[in-house]
Amino acid sequence: MISNKPFHIAIDGPVAAGKGTVSKLVAQRLGFLYVDTGAMYRMAAYLALQNDIALTDEQEIVKLIKTAKIEMRTPLTGETVVNNNKNTVNEQDGRLITVLLNGEDVSWEIRTPEISQGASKVSVLPEVRKILVEKQQIIAQGQDVVMEGRDITYRVLPEADLKIFLTAEISARAERRLLQSQLKGIDLNLPEVMAEIKERDERDMGRSADPLKIVPGAWVLDTTKLAIEEVVEKIVKKVVQMKTQAK
């Protein structure tokens, strides 16, 4: 008998390991929903900064999250999309996912270095993590998903069919992040990016609430010397094998 149970792929890993791009492409190949949980923490930081709330003020940030309408979707095709009745946006602009805050497209606003650092800071707040984990679990209910972040394999989707820890050497991650920044017109240099990534790694692995870690049984996939398509192919092949064996 073929099971109708949704297939969940949970991907964890450090910053700039390629989780977003790989997850998006895997989801496209398999026809799954791609969920960027990191975008939710970026949204939390964005909300706090937009409302002049300290990134350490846990209760106020939780209130903002509860009252805000946060949506994520696959970027729409077509030349333009109406954005909160204010203007039009071409969603086929290189983004991996479209993020809406109260109906307004903030997909690129939450990708700045300032928001990136802010997301890392609010992500250590237990109550913020709790409410966002609940939202992430609701998204995954009843559908095939590729969900990526830093606590997906053991906190958000502990029963995921396939658990992956996607990683790479820090030098490779720094070079990738620098290239991403340059393509966005952000002026950074390699030493700055390297220092930022090291700081982010220490914070992610050292936090008391849901630290970044490799869970037993997770497939550790090092992308240092692999092209994106090679990584995607490995994961897709693995999923196809698993689904075939389950029939």
Retrieve residue 207's tokens. Answer: 């936090």
Write down the pLDDT at residue 80.
54
Average pLDDT, integer, range 97-113: 91
* Residue 205 located in a structural domain: yes
Domain boundary among 142, 166, 196: 142
CATH code of residue 75: 3.40.50.300
Could you tell me if residue 2 is inside a domain?
no
Cα–Cα distance measured from residue 43 to residue 106, given in angstroms and rounded to the nearest whole number: 9
pTM of the shown model: 0.85
Q: What is the pLDDT of residues 163-214, one digit of tens each?
A: 999 999 999 999 998 988 888 788 889 999 999 999 989 988 988 888 999 9
Answer whether residue 228 shows pLDDT above 90: yes
Query: Does residue 113 register a pLDDT over 90?
Result: no
Same domain, 93 and 157: no
Residues 152 and 184 grouped into a single domain: yes
The answer to whether residues 129 and 153 belong to one domain is: no
**pLDDT at residue 65 in the model:** 96
> Is residue 1 a part of any domain in this protein?
no
Q: Each residue of 39-50: b (16+ CB within 10 Å) or e?
A: bbbbbbbbbbee
Name the 3-class secondary structure at 18: coil
Q: Residue 91 and residue 105: Cα distance in Å, rounded?
A: 9
In a domain, 84, yes or no: yes
Which has more confidence, 160 or 90?
160
Mean pLDDT of 57-85: 81
Mean pLDDT of 234-239: 98
- Domains in the chain: how many in total? 2
Better-predicted residue by pLDDT, 151 or 84? 151
**The pLDDT value given to residue 105:** 92
